């Protein structure tokens, strides 16, 4: 009985470790060039996400966007609240993902805001300082059907994400930023302008001291827009 409990606890630790992968590691693993249905051989070397390619806007000293408490207060009054799965904010109290359901009805896979702190790590308290927000979609396979097209619902949700992250920004300004970013992004798609890994598309705008960036992926498996970061 004791051995069974120890084994169960070990499995739980492993599962939690997998769930708390960074957004980059999750995307890199999902977009690796394996055929659909591929199962890694247990005797193979373990898979590791390669380091993200440098974008040129890395910060030596990260800025604080807001605390977890402030983010939770803002999202309660945001139009995103209606689409949020966890309205009791149980995951919002100690997790890294805020999950939304509207896109599930439209494309079969939901969107999320992934919150990170390079200052406090996984210090899941109200005063945890967020230094990056990432907007994306869980289902890369479903999202890939639309390639680099910016879906209207994604546009709406990214505008609202900007309003969460930037004080006193209005709808018009947030909308203009998203539209400008998409124009820059599609220019890089059309000209096949990638980062050093030869497959990541990245473009950004600086506003109010914050870097707002669009990302995409082009490789043997995916050819698509992957999301937005704010830091």
Residues 63-104: tens digit of each pLDDT: 999 999 999 999 999 999 999 999 888 777 678 999 999 999
Confidence of residue 39 (pLDDT cuts 50, 70, 90): low
Query: How many separate helices (H) and strands (E) can be counted in the chain?
Result: 8, 8
Mean pLDDT over 119-125 rounds to 84
Which sequence spans correspond to the domains of the chain? 2-230
Cα–Cα distance, 131 to 119 (Å, whole number):
8
**Of the segments 55-64, 81-90, 124-133, 158-167, which one has the largest average pLDDT value?**
158-167
- Those residues whose C-beta lies under 8 Å from the C-beta of residue 142, and which sit 6 or more positions away, are 107, 108, 109
Phi-psi region of 120 (alpha: psi -120 to 50; beta: other; left: phi over 0): alpha
Above 60 in pLDDT, residue 24? no
Query: Which run of H or E residues covers position 216?
Result: strand 210-218
Cα–Cα distance, 230 to 135 (Å, whole number):
9
> What pLDDT is attached to residue 155?
98
Q: Is 5 helix (H, G, I), strand (E, B) or coil?
A: helix
Above 90 in pLDDT, residue 37? no
Residue 136 CB neighbour total at 10 angstroms: 21
Query: Which run of H or E residues covers position 136?
Result: strand 132-137
Tokens at 100, concatenated:
């939304």
């Amino acid at each position: 009985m004791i051995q069974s409990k120890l084994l169960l606890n070990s499995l739980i630790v492993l599962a939690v470790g997998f769930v708390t992968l960074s957004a980059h590691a999750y995307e890199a693993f999902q977009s690796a060039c394996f055929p659909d249905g591929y199962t890694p051989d247990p005797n193979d070397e373990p898979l590791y996400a390669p380091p993200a390619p440098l974008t040129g806007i890395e910060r030596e000293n990260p800025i604080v966007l807001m605390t977890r408490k402030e983010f939770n207060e803002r999202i309660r009054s945001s139009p995103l609240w209606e689409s949020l799965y966890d309205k009791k904010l149980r995951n919002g109290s100690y997790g890294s993902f805020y999950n939304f359901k509207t896109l599930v009805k439209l494309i079969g896979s939901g969107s999320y805001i992934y919150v990170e702190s390079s200052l406090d790590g996984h210090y899941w308290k109200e005063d945890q300082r967020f230094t990056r927000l990432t907007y994306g979609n869980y289902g890369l396979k479903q999202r890939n059907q639309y390639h680099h097209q910016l879906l209207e619902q994604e546009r709406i949700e990214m505008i609202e994400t900007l309003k969460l992250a930037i004080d006193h920004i209005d709808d018009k300004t947030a909308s203009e930023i998203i539209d400008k970013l998409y124009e820059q992004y599609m220019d890089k798609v059309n000209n096949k302008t990638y980062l050093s890994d030869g497959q990541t598309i990245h473009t950004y705008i600086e506003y109010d001291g914050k870097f707002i960036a669009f990302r995409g992926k082009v490789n043997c498996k995916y050819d698509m827009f992957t999301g937005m970061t704010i830091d």
